[in-house]
Structure 1
Amino acid sequence: MSVKVLYEDNHLIAVFKPSGVLVQGDKTGDVCLMDEVKEYLKEKYKKQGNVFLGLLHRLDRPVSGIILFSKTSKGASRLSEQIRNHKIKKEYQALVEGNLKKSKDILINYLLHDEKTNKTQVLNKEKTGAQYAELDYEVLEKRKKNTLLKINLKTGRHHQIRIQLSQIGHPIVGDKKYGAKTPYQEGQIALCAVSLTFQTATGGETKTITTEPSF
């Protein structure tokens, strides 16, 4: 797997994650993006020994899009602080089943993730462990049987976009886990992280990284 670099400075590197690729290694032993980026940096800078690479956020395996890593401890600290303070803006595009009645809307739910089944469900806020989740969407294009959406994620809950769109009756194309009936490429769903806005680790310059979805 070749690494597609979207942005790089002394402290950070942003790359494109293809659908179906793990961000971080797991028990499957499959190739992961993090190891590939480490190898890229090792070769580019002729580094000896282990390469530092900090994981700042994740994307689900079947999702594609922008992933930002830190190359230094300073980068990790500064960007982690931005994430905690909700200073990083994430924008997604998704192809969903059916045509939505509203051209734009805000979705608010309380979500609970089940570690055993690796699924998230919508609950009442009174339920212990349920987390507040918010996103807003806008219709970009209506197709014959599907709709292309732009999504701004306000909170970053597990499988948040997937379950919230499924909850309103419009699951993401290919997302069988959350009720999709329309097939997509094996191991992939039609969801892509297309834009990421953050401040650089030094200097505080605002950067926006973008990419295009394949659907």
Structure 2
Amino acid sequence: MSSKIHSTKSNLQVLYEDNHIIVVNKRAGDIVQGDKTGDEPLSEIVKSYLKAKYNKPGNVYLGVVHRLDRPTTGIVLFAKTSKALPRLNKLFSEKKAKKTYWALVKNTPPKLQDTLMHWLRKNPKNNKSTAFPKEVSGSKKAILHYKIIKSLHNFYLLEIDLETGRHHQIRTQLASIGCPIKGDLKYGFNRSNKDGSISLHARTLEFIHPVKKEDIALSAPLPDDPLWSACTD
């Protein structure tokens, strides 16, 4: 992983915060929760931020609600209270939180918009999923909806809505229709992005606040990159 995207506490981008939740714009290279690499996860970076901001003694409570792949960027929501966490978990498990992703692909998708359904099977040995047209042993059904929202020089910007949340789902399903995400060597793109990222961004998140019961709608700024910048021109 490139040192350019190593985690630092100094440039955490907070999109929303109140007494019960905090939402940040994850950078490529950040892991949401600790793993076998031993690298400092985003959850600990956020805890350190809260501890310093509010001068909190002792441990800081922070609940992980959902995750993004390490090379992916965009919106991540955390619970700041034990009251909020189970309510947010319930929202996500009941698919009442709406997440929208943007992806850059080089090859032309088969259709302007489409629904993709596959059966995905994860291989823990290489941390990779494989898409099958029909159910196979150990597979789980995966459904997503995509549409082309912009045609760029040599690339297409896709907007993606997930019906299911499977391991590497967007990456696997787009690769299966011949459209691997820019920079995603694992799923067939021909070269990496300079910073080790893949061009997949969790763009928006809409949900009902777990305590206030208000509608929350958030959008994560795109990575600082000329191609991403062209998406909003």
Paired position in structure 2 for 1:95: 104
2:16 maps to a residue whose letter is Y
Distance in 2 (CA, whole Å) between partners of 1:134 and 1:180 is 22
| Residues 93, 213 of structure 1: 8 Å contact kept | no
TM-score (normalizing by structure 2): 0.88
**Deviation by residue 1:101-156 (Cα, 9 ceiling, x = unmatched):** 41111111111111111000112543232111111111111123211111111111
**Unaligned regions of 5+ residues in structure 1, if any?**
none
Q: Which residue of 2 aligns with 1:167?
A: 176
1:194 aligns to what?
203
d(CA) in 2 for partners of 1:131 and 1:107?
14
Q: Once the two structures are superposed, what CA deviation does each residue of 1:7-59 show, in whole Å capped at 9, x if it has no partner?
A: 11211110010011111122222232111100011111111111010011100
Q: Give CA deviations for 1:55-92 in whole Å, capped at 9, x if unaligned.
A: 11100000000000001111101000001111011000
What is residue 133 of structure 1 aligned with on the other side? 142
For 2:84 and 2:194, how far apart are their aligned partners in 1?
Answer: 35
1:67 corresponds to 2:76: yes
Q: Give 2:194's match in structure 1, choosing from 174, 185, 199.
A: 185
- Does the Cα contact within 8 Å between 1:96 and 1:171 map onto a contact in 2? yes
TM-score, normalised via structure 1 length:
0.96
Specify every segment of 5 or more residues in structure 2 that has no aligned partner in the other structure, as ranges: 1-7, 229-233
The amino acid that maps onto 2:41 is C
Of 122, 125, 131, 1:116 maps to 125
Q: What residue identity is the alignment partner of 2:80?
A: K
Offset at 1:182? 4.0
The answer as to whether partners of 2:110 and 2:177 remain within 8 angstroms in 1 is no
Residue identity in the other structure for 2:67 = R
Q: How many residues are treated as equivalent by the alignment?
A: 215
Q: Give the % identical residues.
A: 46
Bigger mean CA deviation after superposition, 41-50 or 165-174: 41-50
Query: Could you say which residue in structure 2 is the equivalent of 1:15?
Result: 24
Q: Is the 8 A contact 2:135 2:141 kept in 1?
A: no
In structure 2, what is the equivalent of residue 157 of structure 1?
166
8 Å CA contact 2:25–2:221 kept in 1: the answer is no
- Counterpart Cα distance in 1 of 2:40 and 2:168: 22
Runs of 4+ in 1 over 6 A off after TM superposition: none
Which of 118-127 and 54-63 deviates more?
A: 118-127
Offset at 1:99?
2.0
Please say if residues 109 and 177 of structure 2, whose CA atoms lie closer than 8 Å, have aligned partners that are also in contact. no
Q: Does 1:213 align with 2:222?
A: yes
Distance of 1:34 and 1:162 partners within structure 2: 24
Query: Does structure 1 retain, via aligned residues, the 8 Å contact 2:206–2:216?
Result: yes
CA contact (8 A) 2:151 2:157 kept: yes
Distance 2:211 2:64 in 1: 18
Distance 1:185 1:50, change over 3 A: same
